[in-house]
Amino acid sequence: MRGARILGTGRALPPRVVTNAELTTRMDTTEEWIVQRTGIRERRFVDPGTGASDLGVQASRVAIERAGLTPKDIQFLVFATLSPDMFFPGCGVLVQEKMGMDTIGALDVRTQCTGFLYGLSVAEAYVKAGFYDYVLVIGAEVQSTGMDLSTAGRDVSVIFGDGGGAAVVGPSDPGRGILSSHLHSEGKYARELMAEAPASIEHPRISKEMIDAGRHYGTMNGRYVFTHAVRRFPEVIREALEANGMTLSDLSIVIPHQANLRITQAVAKALEVPPEKVFSNIEKYGNTTAASIPIALDECIEEGRIREGDIVCLAAFGSGFTWASTLIRW
C-alpha cells in the first residue's frame, strides 16, 4: 500500500486581538488569574459576518497553494468544527462552494478538540487505499459567538478563541508521512464539556427559556477535564510510538491540541521529555478546539522546527470525551 503525507498546511487567524485586559472590562477576572491558570495572554475573535467556513477557506487556500495544487485538484474534503456556520448543513459543503471546487464529497466531523485528527485519519485511509489522491482536512472554529462573556461564563470564556487551519494530504512512498492514527472516545463523560442547545430532544430545540438559562453556552467541568487530559495525552502518544516500534527518544516534536498551557506542561512532565519538544502557542490564540493542531503545525513548519525525516506526534484530548494521536515521519 502507498503512503500518505501532508503536502501543505495553512492557517487563518482573525485580525481582532482580544487581550486578557479587554476581558477584565467584561467580566470579573484578572490578567494574572488567566495567565496563571491557562497560560493564555490573548486570543482572536472574528468580526460579525465571518463564519467557521470563512476561516476554513482562508486556511485552505494557503494549504493548497503550498501543496503545489489548485482547489480543482482536491478530490474530497473533511471539515472538523464544533461551531458550524449553521445547525445544518455542515461547513464542508460551504467550503466546496466558496472555493469553486467540483462536486466532490464533503464530510463534516464533530469530535471537537480531536476533530482535526479524526479528519486526518479519514484522509490517511482514503489516500493510502488509493481511493483519492488529494484530500483537504480543515479544522476551524468561531467560539466567540457561543460564549457567555459575563462573569457567569468566565471559567469557559477566558479559554477559547477563534481560528482555522488546514492541511492537504496526498500520496507518498510507504513508510513516509502519516504512519498511524489512534482514535478513542468515552461518551459517559459527554456532559462534562458540552453545549446543550439547540437540542433535538427538546421540543422545540431552542426556546427563549433555554436561552435565558444560558443552555446554549458551552459548559465545562474544568477539573474533570484537566484530570482526564493529563492521563489520556501521554497514554495515546505512547500508544502511537509502541504501534510503530518506537520509543520517546525517537520523537522530534509533539504538537498537542492547545487546551491549556498547564495541561501541555503536565504532558511534557509525564512523558519526561524536555518542554521545548512539546510545542505551545496557546498564549497567542487561546484554545481554538479543532483548529489548534493545524494552526500549531503550520507555525512549527514556518519556524523551521520540523525537518525531513523528523518523527512528529500530533495528539488531542477534548469534549466527548475523545482523544487521539497521529504519528508522522516528516
Residues that bind ligand COA (CB under 6 A): 29, 33, 37-38, 113, 154-155, 158-159, 220, 222-223, 225-226, 259-260, 262-263, 287, 318
* Minimum CB distance to ligand COA, residue 225 (Å): 4
Which residue, chain included where needed, has cell 462573569? 151
The answer to whether residues 62 and 56 touch, using CB atoms and an 8 Å cutoff, is: no
Distance CA 164, CA 81 (A): 9
206 contacts 197 by C-beta, under 8 angstroms:
yes
Residue 148 or 250: the one with the smaller Cβ distance to ligand COA is: 148
Least CB distance to ligand COA at residue 38 (A): 5
Please tell me which residue in 113, 182, 228, 300 is annotated as part of the active site.
113
DSSP character string of 112-174 = GGGHHHHHHHHHHHHHHHTS-S-EEEEEEE--GGGS--SGGGHHHHTTB--EEEEEEEEEE-T
- Judged by beta carbon, residue 159 or residue 195, the one nearer ligand COA is 159
Cα separation of 182 and 195, whole Å? 26
257 flagged as catalytic: yes
Q: Residue 122 Cβ, how far from ligand COA at the closest point, in Å?
A: 21
CA distances from 307 to 17, 117, 329 (A): 31, 21, 10
Question: 74 vs 117, which CB is nearer to ligand COA?
Answer: 117
**Would you call 287 a catalytic residue per the annotation?**
yes
- Is the CB of 158 or the CB of 179 nearer to ligand COA? 158
Catalytic hit among 20, 228, 260, 287: 287
Other beta carbons less than 10 A from residue 183's beta carbon: 16
Is 113 marked active-site? Answer: yes
User: Which residues are the active-site residues?
Assistant: 113, 257, 287
